[in-house]
Structure 1
Amino acid sequence: MKTIKYQLEPLTCPSCIKKIEGKLGKMNGVEEAKVMFNSSKVKATFDQEQVTSDELKATIENLGYPVVS
């Protein structure tokens, strides 16, 4: 398992949390996805054999939340 953190552009509403966590949580290989609203960060723990960090990043960005780093 690997854990990665992404810095997003500032989140504007708490419902963003459920949207991101829900989508990441349904991906094969993702053990946990946590969004920290105040810091606009996403922390994900995942199995690298089932999903890549690039796929996680793309999923977040496809939801409309640009990843800064």
Structure 2
Amino acid sequence: MNGGLQARVENILAAEFRCAKTLVEEMRAELENIAGARLRDRRLSAETVEELTRLMHSDRLSAADGSSG
């Protein structure tokens, strides 16, 4: 690969890595719940993921507005 192309590719990869890392950090609680459900049930359906993320989103909204659930 020529130097200019290699540098652009490396910059794109670094930016995408930072983006993915930020996403994982911001969604850590949700990801841990999904991983826990996977370990507990030994399988993971789309419905389970949707339910877990919906519950976590609801909890975040409740915490943000000061209500309890």
Same fold (TM over 0.5): no
Greater gyration radius: 2
Answer 1 or 2: which has greater strand percent. 1
